[in-house]
Amino acid sequence: MQTIVDLRSDTITRPTPEMRRAMAEAEVGDDVYDDDPTINRLQEVSAELLGKEAALFVPSGTMSNSIAIKTHTNPGDEILLDGEAHSMLYEAGLPAVVAAVLTRQFRANKGIPDPDDIRSKIHFEDLHSPGTALLVLENTHNRSGGVVIPLSVHKELWDIAQEHGLKVHIDGARLFNAVVASGISAREYAACADTVTFCLSKGLGCPVGSVLCGSREFIGRAKRVRKMLGGGMRQAGILAAAGLYALEHNIERLADDHANAKRLAAGIADVPGVHLVDNAPPTNMIYFDTTALGSPFVAEMAKRGVIASNTAPRRIRLVTHLDVDAEGIEKTISVVQEVGTLLAQ
Ligand code: TLP
C-alpha cells in the first residue's frame, strides 16, 4: 500500500499515543461553571506563558479571533487588518457577521506590515467617519509563507496603537513557530498586544482548541461572547489535557518542521516550472507557483501519494508538521520533481 504524505496543513496532525493517554486520564468538570480543573490549568499555564492576566480555552482559532474582534469593538467600528489575513479571507466573513465592524485593509510587504502605512490608515471617529478601534496582526503570517513579523515591528506598531488609542490583537495561530524560529519568547511578542490567540490544533499536534489570552477584565467579557457563539464547552478537560501535553512536549520540536521545510524547499528549487515564493522558508510553510495550472499539478501529486493545497490558480502550499518525517520529505521532493518535469513538457 502506498504511504500518503499529507502536507495540506499542520491542522491534519493526529494525537500521538502519549497525548491520547494524557487525554484519557484528564480530570474533568463542567467548564461553563468553571469546574474543569484541566481547562483551568491550561488557561493558567497559557496566561503565564504569554505574560497575560488570564486566558480562555476555545474550540478553534476562528472562534478565538471572532471573540477577540467582537469583544474589542462596537458595531460600526473599523478594524485594520492585512488584506491577506486569515480573518479577512478564511473566516466566512466573521468580522462583518459576528462583530458588525468595517474592515480596512492594509497590504503588508511579504507579511510584514509597514508602520507608516498603518499610521496613515487610522481613522478618527467624527460625525462622518467610523473610528478605527482595533489592529489585527498575524504572526506567523500564513498567506505570506509562514513569515515571522519581527519583534521590532510589533514594538513600533504597539507604540502607534498606544498613541492613537487602538487595541491590538495578534492572531498567533502559529505563534510558537515564530517563537522557535526567532528565539524570541511568546511573552515578548504578547507584550506588544492587548490580546493574543494561539492554536493548539496546528503544529502543536492537538485534535482541537485555541487559547485567547488578555487582561482579566477582557477575558471576563470574552467568556460571555464565547457563550453567545456556542463555544461554552462542558467536560472539555479531555481536550485541554492534550493542550497541556503539547505545551510541554511539542513546542521545541517545531524546529524539526522548520528544518524539514528548508530541506523540502532546497530539494524542489530547481524543478522546471516550479517557482518558490521563498527559497528558505522561515517556518513550516512552502509556497510555490507553477507554470502549469495548480489544480492538475496537485492532482498529479495526489496520484503519487503526496497531498498539497492549491491556494490560488497557480500557487501551491505545502506545510510540514509532526506527522511527516524525513522520508516523507524525500518522497515529496521526488514527486514534485516528477510532476514538475511531466507538466513542463
Ligand atoms: N488556517 C488553516 C486554513 O483555514 C487556511 C490552514 O490550514 O492554514 N489563523 C490562522 C493564521 C490560520 O492559519 C488558521 C487556520 C486560523 C486562524 C483558524 O484556525 P481554526 O482552523 O482552528 O479555526
**CATH number of domain containing 103:** 3.40.640.10
Q: Give the C-alpha separation, 141 to 137, whole Å.
A: 8
Q: Which of 6, 12, 62 is the pocket-test mutation for ligand 1 (most atoms within 8 Å of CB)?
A: 62
In a domain, residue 170? The reply is yes
Q: Give the C-alpha separation, 57 to 64, whole Å.
A: 9
Assess whether 29 and 150 both reside in one domain: yes
Half-sphere exposure of 182 (CA within 13 A, CB side): 21
Q: Give the C-alpha separation, 148 to 284, whole Å.
A: 11
Q: Give the C-alpha separation, 167 to 316, whole Å.
A: 34
Q: How far is CA 219 from the centre of its chain?
A: 20
Q: Which of 82, 86, 320 is the pocket-test mutation for ligand 1 (most atoms within 8 Å of CB)?
A: 86
User: Which pLDDT does position 1 carry in this prediction?
Assistant: 65
Assess whether 245 and 257 both reside in one domain: no
Atom of ligand 1 at shortest distance to CA of 59? 22
Q: Give the C-alpha separation, 136 to 245, whole Å.
A: 29
Contact present, 65 and 87 (Cβ < 8 Å): yes
Assess whether 208 and 286 both reside in one domain: no
Of all protein residues, whose CA lies closest to atom 13 belonging to ligand 1? Answer: 142
Per-residue pLDDT of the chain (345 residues; tens, 9 = 90+): 678 999 999 999 999 999 999 999 999 999 999 999 999 999 999 999 999 999 999 999 999 999 999 999 999 999 999 999 999 999 999 999 999 999 999 999 989 999 999 999 998 888 888 899 999 999 999 999 999 999 999 999 999 999 999 999 999 999 999 999 999 999 999 999 999 999 999 999 999 999 999 999 999 999 999 999 999 999 999 999 999 999 999 999 999 999 999 999 999 999 999 999 999 999 999 999 999 899 999 999 999 999 999 999 999 999 999 999 999 999 999 999 999 999 987
Assess whether 180 and 47 both reside in one domain: yes
Q: How far is CA 252 from the centre of its chain?
A: 17
Q: Which helix (H) or strand (E) holds 66?
A: helix 61-72
Assess whether 103 and 217 both reside in one domain: yes
Assess whether 216 and 264 both reside in one domain: no
In a domain, residue 1? The reply is no
Contact present, 26 and 209 (Cβ < 8 Å): no
Assess whether 182 and 320 both reside in one domain: no
Assess whether 52 and 115 both reside in one domain: yes
Assess whether 240 and 320 both reside in one domain: no
In a domain, residue 23? The reply is yes
Task: Report the SS3 class of residue 210.
Answer: strand
Identify the residue whose cell numbers are 457563539: 229
Q: Smallest Cα–Cα separation from 94: which of 81, 108, 109? A: 81
In a domain, residue 7? The reply is no
Q: How far is CA 134 from the centre of its chain?
A: 18
Q: Give the C-alpha separation, 272 to 311, whole Å.
A: 20
What's the pTM?
0.97
**How far away, in angstroms, is 292 Cα from ligand 1 center?**
27
In a domain, residue 8? The reply is no
CATH of the domain at 296: 3.90.1150.10
Assess whether 243 and 318 both reside in one domain: no
Long-range residue pairs from 220-224, CB within 8 A, at least 24 positions apart, any chain: 220/54, 221/71, 222/56, 222/67, 222/68, 222/71, 223/56
- Domain C-terminal end among 191, 221, 249: 249
Of all protein residues, whose CA lies closest to atom 7 belonging to ligand 1? Answer: 9
**How far away, in angstroms, is 86 Cα from ligand 1 center?**
7
Task: Find all residues with CB under 8 Å of 153, minimum gap 6, and list them.
Answer: 112, 113, 115
User: Which pLDDT does position 127 carry in this prediction?
Assistant: 84
Domain count, the chain: 2
Contact present, 176 and 198 (Cβ < 8 Å): yes
- Domain C-terminal end among 249, 277, 295: 249
Contact present, 207 and 240 (Cβ < 8 Å): no
* Cell (9 digits) for 279: 527559497
Of all protein residues, whose CA lies closest to atom 17 belonging to ligand 1? Answer: 61
In a domain, residue 3? The reply is no
Q: Where are the beta strands (DSSP E) in the chain?
A: 5-6, 54-58, 78-82, 102-106, 132-138, 167-172, 195-199, 210-214, 274-276, 285-290, 306-307, 309-312, 315-319
Task: Find all residues with CB under 8 Å of 312, minimum gap 6, and list them.
Answer: 294
In a domain, residue 49? The reply is yes
Residues with CB under 6 A from ligand 1: 9, 11, 60-62, 86, 90, 138, 142, 171, 173, 199, 201, 210
Residue 160's domain comprises 17-249
**How far away, in angstroms, is 129 Cα from ligand 1 center?**
32
Assess whether 233 and 267 both reside in one domain: no
- Domain C-terminal end among 213, 229, 249: 249
Contact present, 178 and 141 (Cβ < 8 Å): no
Atom of ligand 1 at shortest distance to CA of 11? 7
Task: Report the SS3 class of residue 4.
Answer: coil
DSSP structural state of residue 153:
H
Task: Report the SS3 class of residue 333.
Answer: helix
**How far away, in angstroms, is 284 Cα from ligand 1 center?**
14
Assess whether 89 and 238 both reside in one domain: yes
* Cell (9 digits) for 69: 474582534
User: Which pLDDT does position 126 carry in this prediction?
Assistant: 85
In a domain, residue 244? The reply is yes
Half-sphere exposure of 113 (CA within 13 A, CB side): 32
User: Which pLDDT does position 2 carry in this prediction?
Assistant: 73
